[in-house]
Amino acid sequence: MGSTKSDLLTRLEAGLPTRCYLDAGHYERELEAFWYRHWLGVGREEDLPRPRDYRLLRVGDQSILLLRDLGGRLRAFHNTCRHRGSALCGGPDGRLPGAAIVCPYHGWTYSLEGELLATPHQIASPELRRSDHRLYRVAVDTWEGFVFVNLLGDDAPPLATFLGTLPQELAHWPLARLRIGHRARRELACNWKIFWENFSECFHCPGVHPELSRLVPAYGRGLLAADDDPRGATAAGLAEGAVTWTLDGKSHLPAFEGLDPEERRRGQTFGVLRPSMFVVAHVDYVRLVRMLPRGPERMELAMDWLFAPEVLADADFDPRHAVALGERVLEQDALACERNQQGLHCLRHERGVLVPQEYAVLEFQDWIRRGLGAAGS
| CA of residue 255 relative to chain centroid, distance | 25
Which residues face 44 on adjacent strands? 146
52 and 16 in a single domain? The answer is: no
Q: Over the Cα atoms of the chain, what is R_g?
A: 23
Structural domain ending residue among the three candidates 114, 146, 163: 163
The answer to whether position 225 is within a domain reads: yes
Determine phi and psi for 356, rounding to 5 degrees. Answer: -50, -45
d(CA 245, CA 329): 11
State which residues of the chain have pLDDT below 70.
1-11, 375-377
195 and 311 in a single domain? The answer is: yes
pLDDT for res 374: 74
pTM value is: 0.94
pLDDT for res 7: 59
296 and 247 in a single domain? The answer is: yes
Tell me the residue range of the domain where 292 lies. Answer: 5-22+170-374
120 and 216 in a single domain? The answer is: no
101 and 212 in a single domain? The answer is: no
Judge residue 178's burial from the number of C-beta atoms within 10 Å of its C-beta, 0-12 exposed, 13-18 middle, 19 or more buried. buried
pLDDT digits (tens, 9 = 90+) for 228-269: 888 887 878 999 999 999 999 999 999 999 999 999 999 999
316 and 294 in a single domain? The answer is: yes
d(CA 197, CA 23): 18
Phi-psi region of 150 (alpha: psi -120 to 50; beta: other; left: phi over 0): beta
d(CA 130, CA 117): 7
DSSP 283: S
The answer to whether position 28 is within a domain reads: no
The answer to whether position 241 is within a domain reads: yes
DSSP 297: T
pLDDT for res 5: 60
The answer to whether position 27 is within a domain reads: no
d(CA 173, CA 165): 14
241 and 361 in a single domain? The answer is: yes
d(CA 69, CA 354): 48
CATH of the domain at 56: 2.102.10.10
287 and 184 in a single domain? The answer is: yes
Structural domain ending residue among the three candidates 109, 135, 163: 163
Number of domains in the chain: 2
d(CA 362, CA 98): 50
Beta strands in the chain (DSSP E): 13-17, 40-44, 53-59, 62-68, 74-78, 93-95, 100-102, 109-111, 116-118, 139-143, 146-150, 179-188, 269-273, 277-281, 286-295, 298-307, 351-354
187 and 292 in a single domain? The answer is: yes
CATH of the domain at 177: 3.90.380.10
Question: Computed from CA positions of residues 246, 248, 252, 253, in that sequence, does the dihedral angle turn out positive or negative?
Answer: positive
pLDDT for res 121: 79
Amino acid at the residue 284:
D
